[in-house]
Amino acid sequence: MQVKDKVVVVTGAASGIGRALCERFAKEGARAVVASDVDTVGMAETLARMGDDTQAVGIPCDVGDEESVNKLVQETLKRFEHIDLFCANAGIFTAGGEEVPIEAWQKIWDVNVMSHVFAARAVLPGMLERGEGYLLNTSSAAGLLSQVGSAPYSVTKHAAIGFAEWLSITYGKRGIKVSALCPQAVRTAMTAGSEGGGVAGLDGMLEPEQLADSVVATLAEERFLVLPHPEVLTYMRRKTEDYDRWLGGMRRLQERFEDAYKARAEADAANDENSD
């Protein structure tokens, strides 16, 4: 897909990856870019950065709520009649393991997994009727490998990959393209509290604009995996070639970063208590 003259929706657009995608799609000549987020202040800042050559529209949306996602899609369709590319990008991180409270598990499940389901339910009927459409679902390298220090993040990102695969398998012959964005560390608010991006930062921290370059290149080639960090493909091969050896290596990484992730989990818990 070439983004030029396309109608694009991006969730999680108030900052970081979402903002970089919006700006890059505008530079590529998109007909319209709909920036969506719960952070309306950040969303407005993103709109202001897109220039005058693309119709830039802001529509607030809580991606973990299906009614909100439906409203986002319906309002976009009222303005532009169809959606060419829907980027389900919004995501959250929760540190900790099985002990994480059920409320936190449910929240990250809704945002990191169900948001993709809600988006597909909302946009696929129109795309299938037209016989074309593209879904870009932001996951993470954690969805292909794992995430030291966060069971909720690892589990939900694996689920996001699984759903994207299913969509591609099920609708690929009906004109629907699907890509899964799987970066390691990117300089965003999510990585701000971790030293150098933690485990995911071992291969370097990318700027969001660098990631947007990878997205545009992969969309043009219509490949499933968007890998801004090419090392991830090597790690995937090692994982499948010798699972037990790979698990051993991950245990060593766990030991290396255990104290840092414990501190982050404690900080997250303290923040949750203060917000109650």
Catalytic residue among 134, 153, 171, 235: 153
Cα 24–163–167 angle (5° rounding)?
A: 80
Q: Are 138 and 87 in contact (CB under 8 A)?
A: yes
Asked if residue 205 is part of any domain, the answer here is: yes
For helices 243-275 and 231-241, give the axis angle rounded to 10 degrees. Answer: 120
Domain enclosing residue 185, as ranges: 7-275
Domain count of the chain?
1
Do the domain assignments include residue 1?
no
For residue 53, the 8-state DSSP code is S
Residue 251 within any structural domain of the chain: yes
Residue 16 lies inside a defined structural domain of this protein: yes
In a domain? residue 2: no
Predicted pLDDT at 232: 94
Helix-, strand-, coil-residue percentages of the chain, each rounded to 5: 60, 15, 30
Listing DSSP states for 167-222 in one string gives HHHHHGGGTEEEEEE--S-BSSGGGTTSGGGGGGGTT-PBPHHHHHHHHHHHHHHT
The gap from C-alpha 160 to its chain's centroid, in whole angstroms, comes to 9
171 located within any domain: yes
Q: Could you list the mean pLDDT of each consecutive 10-residue stretch along the chain, which spans 276 residues?
A: 97 96 96 97 95 91 98 98 97 94 98 98 98 97 94 97 98 98 79 50 77 96 95 95 95 82 66 53
The CA distance from 26 to 24, in Å, is: 5
Q: Residue 41: inside a domain, yes or no?
A: yes
Q: What does the pLDDT read at residue 264?
A: 65
Identify the pLDDT of residue 271: 61
Q: Is 134 in the active site?
A: no
Q: Is residue 73 part of a domain?
A: yes
The pLDDT score that the predictor gives to residue 167 is 98
Q: What is the CATH number of the domain that holds 43?
A: 3.40.50.720
Question: Could you tell me which of 147, 73, 213, 161 has the C-alpha nearest to residue 169?
Answer: 161
